[in-house]
Each structure stands twice: as C-alpha cells, then as structure tokens.
Amino acid sequence: MTRTTFCMLSFNFKRITSLVWSSLKTASKQSYWGIAYSRHRLTTEWVMAELLKNPNIMRKMQLEVREVTGNKTKIDASDSNKMKYLKCVIKETLRLHPPFPFLAPREASASVKVGGYDIPPKTKVFINIWTIQRDPKSWERPGEFYPERFENNPIDYRGGDHQFLPFGSGRVCPGILFGIALVEYLIANVLCWFDWKLPVGTVEESLDMN
C-alpha cells in the first residue's frame, strides 16, 4: 500500500487550492461579462426604440456622431468621449428605462420613520428606482424623453445624486464603465453608418414603450 507523506498532502492541497481559485475566477468573469452584456443589450434596445419614437433627437445625435467621426472608416472607443449628446441620450434612456426597476432589498436594522411611514426592525425595504427617476419633484417633464436635461448637468452613474440611480448607490454594479462604453460604441456605430426609421405605415405615437 502506498503511504501518503506530509509533502504529498501539502502538494495536493496546493494543487487543489489552485484549481478551485482558477474555477472561481473563471466563473466570476463569466458572471461579470454575462450580466454586463445582457443588461446593456437591453439598454441598447431601449435607446434605439426611443430614437425611433423621437426622430428629431435621432437626427441631432447622428449629426454629432458623424461630425466627430469625419472621414474615418471606423469609430474608435476614444471618439465617444467627444460625443456629449450621445451621453445625454443614454442617461435619459436609463432614467426612463433603468436595467433594474427595483434595487436589491434592504433590511431595517432598527425602527425608523421614512416619509411619514413607521418601518419596524427586520422589515424588508424595496427601493423603486423606476418611480424615483420619474418623480416630478426631481425632474421637469418626467415622462418625456428629453436628453437635453443632462446637458451641463453633473449627475453621473455612481448614485451620489439620489434622483438618478440606474445602477444603485454605494457599492454599485462593477460593470458600469464597461457597460456604458459598450452601449456608446454600439449606438455610435449604428447611427453613423445607417439611417433608421419605423416600418412604412407606422407612426411614432403608436410605438408602445411600456
């Protein structure tokens, strides 16, 4: 019978640990990219839907994208930094159509009163982003797609301004920068090289955005 020495056990433990960490890193990467891709794919669809419903905004955005691109045959990732209106359009899309209508639930650690409501300890609290981002107390013309509201506006995606929370606040989604860059790149390309319109016989007012 083969005897197992301490050195063999130590070697096997290190090998198993290495394999476990490798598997965990692979799973984390797949989860990270998968979530970022799926959520921002939906955002891209919402951007295009809003632009089709608002052709004047689409034309203004195309003018900016094509002006920045010039005679180049492809758009570089760095070009999107010069497309200020593009960023406003994406922010406005995320305001009206956040990837998650609710944040992950929080549990009250003590009795507290919020907005006139008594919340006892251990109560699960859901934060409704969809409603917050359409609150007329915080937003002018809240139900309207109006990207210009973000021009010269310091509000960003990190959740410091609690009226705009498409990715939450505090420990926010780690894929924000990747996801936003991906959406900017995709939208800039499809608007630069193609003209878009609704099918013949379809009017903007009939496009259901619910």
List, as residue ranges, the binding site. Answer: 173
CA-CA distance, 39 to 58, in Å (whole number)? Answer: 22
Rounded to 5 degrees, what angle do the CA atoms 143, 185, 84 make? 55
Q: How many CA atoms lie within 13 A of 188 on its CB side?
A: 29
How does DSSP classify residue 146? -
Amino acid at 157: Y
Residues 6+ apart with CB under 8 A from 180: 40, 90, 157
Which residues belong to the annotated binding site for heme?
173
Among candidates 150, 190, 187, which has minimal Cα distance to 166?
150
Amino acid at 94: L
**Lookup: tokens for 196:** 């878009």
